[in-house]
Amino acid sequence: MTTSRANLWPYAIIATFILFASYIGYMVQQAMSTNVDLVSADYYQQELAYQKRIESVARTAALPAPVAVEYEPAAQRLTLKLPPSLAGQAVQGTVHFFRPPIRSWTSASPSPQLASPLSSS
């Protein structure tokens, strides 16, 4: 008496191919439904703003020493210490206070013109 046992490998291989084809079909459908517009209506203004940011980062990186920021909680004072190489130069800029969770706390205030940089005491 011989018993024939069914081999499951052919079914597993077919099922694997069907699952793979289904996955590829799903990925193609997702890719085709994705918006890939590379140009926006105000792309030129966006590029100018981004270029200003690049130039700002480049100017900051070109400083001989980093700008130090110190906060004194008792006096509630924020002090920016500029590099000594900026002594005697008029320095101006804007300080942005950014608070991601609470948008109303985000603000920008112009810094006063400085006759000389703050000392690094």
Residue 44 located in a structural domain: no
Q: Which amino acid is at 66?
A: P
3-state DSSP of 16-31: HHHHHHHHHHHHHHHH
Would you state the structure tokens that stand for residue 56, as one six-digit string?
A: 């700002």
Q: Are 80 and 68 in contact (CB under 8 A)?
A: yes
- Quote the pLDDT of residue 117: 45
- Quote the pLDDT of residue 119: 43
Residue 13 located in a structural domain: no
- Quote the pLDDT of residue 17: 98
- Quote the pLDDT of residue 30: 95
Residue 36 located in a structural domain: no
- Quote the pLDDT of residue 2: 65
Residue 87 located in a structural domain: yes
- Distance CA(86)–CA(82), nearest Å, equals 7
Residue 3 located in a structural domain: no
- Quote the pLDDT of residue 116: 42
Q: Which residues of the chain have pLDDT under 70?
A: 1-3, 103-121
- Quote the pLDDT of residue 96: 75
The parent domain of residue 102 ranges over 64-121
Residue 28 located in a structural domain: no
- Quote the pLDDT of residue 78: 83
> Is the dihedral angle over the CA atoms 37, 42, 44, 49 positive or is it negative?
negative
Residue 11 located in a structural domain: no
**Total number of domains in the chain:** 1
- Quote the pLDDT of residue 63: 84
For residue range 15-36, list pLDDT tens digits in order: 999 999 999 999 999 999 988 7
- Quote the pLDDT of residue 13: 96
Residue 30 located in a structural domain: no
